Structure 1
Amino acid sequence: MRRLLAVTMVVAVLAVGAGCSADRSGGAAPAGATAEVSGPAAGSGGAPGGLTGTPVGGGVTGGNAQVCAEAQQAGATAVREYVAELGRMVAAVGAGDTATADAARTRAQTALAGWRAALREQSARSTDPQLKTLLSDLGTEVAALGGDVESIDETELDRLQQRLDQLCAR
């Protein structure tokens, strides 16, 4: 039951982040569009501006806009695949089908490896130091996910995804 709850939480958290980033048209969001999302987070000490302390507004320009778009698309695709495979894995474990569970775990890990590789590639392409660091941090968090449902830190992943969404919307 605990695993099912963890999968449900991951689906909810990641689907919201992926859904929000997929709804964007090619242009930047209005400056006030992220004001509610970028307010002080619990335990952040009430820092003004974005979650990273960066003021809302500004702009990711040139090739960095493409880096953002590709990183967000890679994330949305990987999350869909990862969550689907985790669901299959949990169902197979519940049914006592270890072969199917192992195959689903392998496919979930492959989805994460692809996402991690895309994040590293986009980090290398970025000329914005904040974006480069954030993509590297996301890659590290994705690497930590693995196929173990209980190892998922959905709070940290959601926080990093919000930072990416905010930074890319500037």
Structure 2
Amino acid sequence: MRRLLSVTAVSGALLLLGTGCSSGKSAENATAAPVPAVSGPAASGPAAGASAGAALPGEADAALSGNSEAICQQAAKTGGDAAKNFAQDLTLLIEAESSQDKDSVIKAKQKTARDVENYSFALKDMSKLAADPKLKAALADMGSQVTALKGDVRKVDSEQLTKLQKTLDKACGNG
């Protein structure tokens, strides 16, 4: 029962992470921003942020570079996607550990680590593209905080996420 409550609390906090910084635009507009270029360690695997019809990496960088509104929209979409992934990862970890199947636990931990790494990389990448110093700092700080999780979504602190989201909202002109 405690695990279920933990999953519920963390899932709720993670979903809050993806709801801010949308500049008051509809969800359609928030998802229309190009996907930031993903290279390096986050580029491996299907969770690297690529989607059907997405802009080429160089085009995505050009579309986001210096465009605070587009970066805020992309950060909101990326945060929402990460929140869903983290909630699923937490459930996957709990189920794998409950089954006592060592192979399942290893695979669940690898997936979680990859998802955390991808989200951190995306935040840091968007930070590099931001021209606004507050937005740049907010995204870089969020990327560092996510990196500090070291792949373990159970380390997510809902108060910390709320504070980071408020910082990002303020940087995006929403708070």
Normalising by structure 2, we get a TM-score of: 0.67
1:6 aligned residue: 6
Deviations 1:2-42 (A, max 9, x none): 5443332210111133245569416xxxxxxxxxxxxxxxx
> Which structure has the larger Rg?
1
Deviations 1:67-115 (A, max 9, x none): 1111221111122112101111101111212211221121111111111
Residue 156 (structure 1) aligned with residue 160 (structure 2): yes
Matches within 5 A, 1:89-104: 89-104=93-108
Count of aligned residue pairs for this structure pair: 136
- The CA deviation at 1:126 is 0.7
**Structure 1 unmatched ranges of 5 or more:** 27-61
In the alignment, which of 78, 84, 95 is matched to residue 74 of structure 1?
78
Q: Distance in 1 between matches of 2:24 and 2:109?
A: 31
- The CA deviation at 1:166 is 3.2
The residue identity in structure 1 corresponding to 2:90 is: L
Q: Distance in 2 between matches of 1:162 and 1:128?
A: 16
- The CA deviation at 1:123 is 0.5
Identity of aligned residues (%): 30
Matches within 5 A, 1:1-170: 2-21=2-21, 24-25=24-25, 63-170=67-174
**Helix, strand or coil: the match of 1:145?**
coil
**Structure 2 unmatched ranges of 5 or more:** 27-65
CA RMSD of aligned residues (A): 2.4
The residue identity in structure 1 corresponding to 2:5 is: L
Deviations 1:27-64 (A, max 9, x none): xxxxxxxxxxxxxxxxxxxxxxxxxxxxxxxxxxx711
Q: Distance in 1 between matches of 2:135 and 2:112?
A: 26
